[in-house]
């Protein structure tokens, strides 16, 4: 996440905005997982894939938070140095995203409040969009306006798991996944509002980021609910405990909030 930003601008309102939003997004992600643990909805007694996934993703949260803190504080040298790690960590994030998705689906069918086919296809496209936006941000690192906004939009996608643990997802069936995607886009919307108030216009990077996420979701739904999407989901689940649950979102018989 290196940037060619001018150190003399490190304390301006734009840098402060991105630092504050980085802390807010990071706090939401952590809060979601902590709440699940506190309420007994999750446990550390899970296969190794969950633990590796957790370490990789929370390290990324720490990297994102540190990068925004460094640049807002004018520490450009550390920002550039740590930014090199992103070239390795982004592909690792995408790989572990796929690993945990497939592990979860085959182990227990995935989250019961999501349709399995939508969970698999939409998750796949959103992971790829995350990776694409994050790498586009790195490529645009000389253009700090594009750089920080594209990375912000990529990070907004990752708030989904945290938000999904804070929102009453079972009560949002059958639209839980779509609602979660829309809610994650509140963060870029806040960025657009901040841009307009600060500069009188909205940076085009926001439109690219939000457009790709929402457009990707439309494409994902078209694929997921097609015969191809259903067939692919069935093939992934074949011969596993995950195939025993309905493909559609459902409430378990013993469910309680």
Closest to 68 measured CA to CA, from 86, 52, 54? 86
Cα distance between residue 101 and residue 96, in whole Å: 8
How does DSSP classify residue 9? G
Q: How does pLDDT run across 99-135, given as a tens digit for each residue?
A: 999 999 999 999 999 999 999 999 999 999 999 999 9
* Mean pLDDT computed over every residue of the chain: 93
Residue 124 lies in a domain: yes
Residue carrying structure tokens 């790195």: 138
- Its domain, for residue 218, covers 7-241
Residue 61 lies in a domain: yes
pLDDT over 80 (residue 237): yes
Token pair, residue 82, equals: 């740590």
Residue 257 lies in a domain: no
Total domain count, the chain:
1
- Which residues lie below 8 Å from residue 128, measured CB to CB, with a gap of 6+? 94, 216
Residue 247, phi-psi category: left (phi > 0), alpha (psi -120 to 50), beta (remainder): alpha
- Within 10 angstroms of residue 251's Cβ, the number of other Cβ atoms is 12
Cβ 141 vs Cβ 4: under 8 Å: yes
Residue 145 lies in a domain: yes
87-106 burial, b if ≥16 CB within 10 A, otherwise e?
Answer: eebbeebbebbeebbbbbbb
**Helix (H) and strand (E) counts in the chain:** 10, 0
Residue 63 lies in a domain: yes
Q: How does pLDDT run across 147-184, given as a tens digit for each residue?
A: 999 999 999 999 999 999 999 999 999 999 999 999 99
Residue 251 lies in a domain: no
pLDDT confidence tier of residue 6, bands split at 50, 70 and 90: very low
Residue 253 lies in a domain: no
């Amino acid at each position: 996440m290196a940037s060619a930003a001018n150190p003399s601008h490190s304390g301006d309102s734009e840098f402060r905005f991105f630092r504050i939003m980085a802390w807010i997004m990071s706090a939401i992600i952590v809060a979601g997982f902590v709440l699940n643990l506190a309420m007994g909805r999750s446990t550390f007694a899970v296969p190794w894939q969950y633990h590796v996934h957790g370490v990789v993703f929370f390290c990324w949260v720490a990297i994102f938070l540190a990068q925004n803190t460094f640049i807002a504080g004018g520490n450009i040298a550390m920002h550039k140095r740590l930014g090199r790690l992103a070239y390795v960590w982004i592909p690792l994030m995408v790989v572990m995203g796929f690993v945990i998705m497939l592990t979860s689906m085959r182990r227990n069918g995935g989250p019961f409040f999501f349709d399995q086919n939508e969970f698999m296809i939409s998750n796949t496209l959103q992971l790829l969009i995350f990776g694409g936006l994050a790498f586009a941000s790195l490529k645009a690192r000389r253009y700090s306006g594009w750089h920080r906004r594209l990375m912000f939009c990529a990070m907004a996608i990752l708030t989904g798991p945290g938000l999904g643990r804070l929102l009453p997802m079972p009560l949002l069936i059958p639209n839980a996944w779509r609602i979660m995607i829309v809610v994650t886009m509140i963060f870029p919307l806040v960025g657009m509002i901040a841009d307009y108030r600060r500069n009188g216009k909205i940076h085009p990077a926001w439109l690219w980021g939000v457009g790709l996420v929402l457009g990707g979701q439309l494409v994902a739904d078209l694929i997921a609910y097609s015969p191809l999407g259903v067939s692919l989901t069935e093939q992934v689940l074949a011969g596993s405990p995950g195939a025993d649950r309905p493909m559609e979102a459902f409430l378990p018989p013993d469910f309680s909030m």
